[in-house]
Amino acid sequence: MASVELRQFRYFVAVAEELHFGRAAKRLRIAQPGLSQQIKKLERSIGVELLIRDPRGIKLTAAGRAFLDQARLALELADRAVTSAVMADRGKSGLLRVGTRAAGMPILGETILQEFRDRHPDVEIEIHAGLAPQQLEALSARSLDVALLLSPFKTVDPAPRYLELTRLELLIALPQSHRLAGRRSISRAELLREPFLDWPRTVNPTLIDHIRRSLFGAFEHPRAVEISELVEGRRLQHVAKGRGIAASVLPPDGERDVPGVTFCHLEEPPPIVGFGVAWIGTQPSPFVAPFLDVARELRSEPAQ
């Protein structure tokens, strides 16, 4: 078998992810005919067809799907070799890339990160805040090592492994002057009567659908208004201004100290979301295992 160049791995991954030669060529900043020739050369080199080309578009063959995962891994190992040299020059043993929630992270997540830093001061931690669908895609593409996120979520290929660290009860955020403020719990019927500040479904359809079912049951909220602001503290500022009530996914700690806002429980059964760490099993980073060790030590008992 002829030798395969590392750049051909990059070319193939781009085509496989875009499923379009034109978009892949633009992403790689090379000419489309040259890209097509390189993919054909790669297929000749390894002796199998990786792509099915027809007028309707491009599809991966079974061999192409298998090759894609290993090609990503090979590129990650190559990139990690460069990163390791850079980190060593800074006096660090390496880099751990961690995905976190753009909307804010539960205290448990912050505690795990700090404990890992304390135990492994020689490891550089690179934080990437974002939305869960993008974090999962980044795990799949090997541009993240681990991701701290809420569940449920829609899986990707390859499917990540997932360790649930805790379960979080969604509390109802109310203006302090609201007629329901001061109650320990409110009913779902009352919740449906109040203007509700909702999340845009597009940010994470699987999670948002789960939250809405947990809050409203089989009903649609007749007075729901989607708020594009995702950062939890800023969303709650809308509550403080009397624009509606909202559900909050952060735990009841100092992060809830929002002037003008009070919190109460929803009637049984309580709305619950999971919080955990996701990673790809074929992860080349040597720091994923010690990070998971810390997470397992600090995980809390799930709420019943």
The per-residue pLDDT for range 72-122, each reduced to its tens digit, is 878 877 776 777 677 666 766 678 999 998 777 888 999 999 999 999 998
Q: What pLDDT is attached to residue 200?
A: 85
CB count in 10 Å sphere of residue 228: 9
CA 210 vs CA 75, 176, 273: distances in Å: 36, 27, 8
Tokens 């050369």: give the residue.
Answer: 41
Q: Does domain 6-71 have CATH number 2.40.128.110?
A: no
* Assigned CATH for 92-167+274-298: 3.40.190.10
3-state secondary structure 73-96: HHHHHHHHHHHHHHHHHCCCCEEE
The rounded distance, in Å, linking the Cα atoms of 214 and 270 is 8
Closest C-alpha to 191, from 138, 243, 265, 140: 265
* Assigned CATH for 171-270: 3.40.190.10
Asked if the model's pLDDT at residue 19 lies above 60, the reply is: yes
| pLDDT digit string, tens, across residues 154-189 | 887 778 999 999 999 999 999 988 998 888 899 999
Residue 199 near residue 132, CB atoms below 8 Å: no
Lowest-confidence pick of 14-23, 88-97, 118-127, 141-150: 88-97
Q: What pLDDT is attached to residue 103?
A: 76
Supply the pTM of this predicted model.
Answer: 0.70
| Backbone Cα Rg of the chain | 23
The rounded distance, in Å, linking the Cα atoms of 162 and 141 is 17
Give Cα 101 to chain centroid, integer Å.
7
Both tokens assigned to 46: 């390894």
Both tokens assigned to 176: 């302090």
Q: What pLDDT is attached to residue 151?
A: 93
- Kindly indicate the confidence band of residue 304, based on its pLDDT and cuts at 50, 70 and 90: very low
The rounded distance, in Å, linking the Cα atoms of 13 and 71 is 7
Amino acid at 132: A
Closest C-alpha to 129, from 98, 165, 102: 102
Amino acid at 262: T
Q: What pLDDT is attached to residue 211?
A: 92
DSSP type of residue 42: H
Residue 290 near residue 116, CB atoms below 8 Å: yes
Closest C-alpha to 109, from 166, 171, 169, 170: 166
Q: What pLDDT is attached to residue 283?
A: 66
Higher pLDDT, 283 or 214: 214
Asked if the model's pLDDT at residue 191 lies above 60, the reply is: yes
% of the chain surpassing 90 pLDDT? 33
Average pLDDT over residues 143-152: 93
Q: What pLDDT is attached to residue 286?
A: 87
Residue 139 near residue 156, CB atoms below 8 Å: yes
Q: Taking all residues of the chain, what is their mean pLDDT, rounded to a whole number?
A: 86
Asked if the model's pLDDT at residue 53 lies above 90, the reply is: no
Residue 282 near residue 69, CB atoms below 8 Å: yes
| pLDDT digit string, tens, across residues 233-270 | 778 888 888 888 999 876 555 445 678 899 999 999 99
CA 145 vs CA 40, 98, 105, 117, 278: distances in Å: 31, 6, 18, 16, 9
| pLDDT digit string, tens, across residues 56-66 | 788 899 888 88
Q: What pLDDT is attached to residue 255?
A: 47
Domain 6-71 and domain 92-167+274-298, same fold? Reply is: no
Query: How is the chain split into domains, by residue range?
Result: 6-71, 92-167+274-298, 171-270
Give me the count of residues in the chain.
304
CA-based end-to-end distance of the chain: 57
